[in-house]
Structure 1
């Protein structure tokens, strides 16, 4: 993979991983409403473009299930691979790794919480396992800006691409003027 390949993501080579956007965690996260909106855009775009989506929940007994608006989107999907419970901070459990491997895709787009803990540890583990990660910076968060910023720095330093939801959706689309472009561009406006 050359340097530009590492910066390129397509609908055919990527999956979307939603990390720990849960009922009792989300309200404590700075800008959580915006993060939920941006995550929703990613999920809807992924479904429209046939991109597999999977999610994790960190200790759901304590932090609750995935927050309801995201669960509703999952329930309407045909490309949803499931929600995987975990207690380790990295989302790359053996079950999640097996689900990712089964897709045959090598690029993982990440959204979720918290940037400096579970999101960072997941990106680091995926990069070490040979995957290229794309982090949607406007669809991740931590309780404080300082922790979020530190998490973004760490994620970038391990070789992941830090980008944003709009760039990802337009990378997935590749061109304007198609019916799919018209449908998805409404989400971004």
Structure 2
């Protein structure tokens, strides 16, 4: 697995929803980092897919995250699901393909944020890897109900073949060079202040 390619990448934000967000480890870090990740996707015109697990019962996407998602100018898609892993719904593969119609599924690079690390995120990641899709996990954008759930889930996903990264690394890999047309805008985003944990 190599560096991220801006022309093959897709950002997937998994189930950052109402009731769950009140219970996870370091919710403020997850929210702020995911918002930055989506803003980076917007700067670089990387498609964003956002999912919701049974929103009737668990609630809608966190309002701050939803507000940024709705304001994106890059291609964006939304999926409600009953299956825990996104791949349990065949619609998800269709969304990935329509997000990058010129890139075969096995050539795509999926950058992931979401909860819960040990359930919906892990099932999605393991199945994507089984289908040959590169998965890159932004550790600060992923959480669950407790530090140990998150920690061991990240370890397992890494053993399965996922790459552990962060939103800043993602942005710099998409740019590759300070002369990239999006670099200055990315730099301004990073200068907006430190994300508190």
Tell me which interval the TM-score lies in, with the shorter structure as reference length.
over 0.9
Instruction: State the shift of 1:62 in Å.
Output: 1.2
Mapping for residues 1-189 of structure 1, pairs under 5 Å = 6-92=1-87, 93-102=89-98, 103-104=100-101, 105=103, 106-178=108-180, 180-189=182-191
Q: How far apart, in 1, do the equivalents of 2:11 and 2:22 lie?
A: 22
Q: How far apart, in 2, do the equivalents of 1:179 and 1:28 lie?
A: 40
Q: How far apart, in 2, do the equivalents of 1:26 and 1:80 lie?
A: 25
Check conservation: 2:14, 2:121, Cα contact below 8 A. Answer: yes
Report SS of the residue matched to 1:111: strand
Q: Show structure 2 runs of 5+ residues with no match.
A: 192-197
Q: How far apart, in 2, do the equivalents of 1:177 and 1:107 lie?
A: 23
Q: Which one is further off, 143-152 or 68-77?
A: 68-77
Q: Show structure 1 runs of 5+ residues with no match.
A: 1-5
Instruction: State the shift of 1:179 in Å.
Output: 5.0
Q: Which digits, 9 at most, give the CA deviation of each residue in 1:131-152, with x for residues without a partner? A: 1000000110011110000110
Report SS of the residue matched to 1:28: coil
Q: How far apart, in 2, do the equivalents of 1:56 and 1:147 lie?
A: 21
Count of residue pairs brought into register by the alignment = 184
Q: Which one is further off, 11-20 or 97-106?
A: 97-106
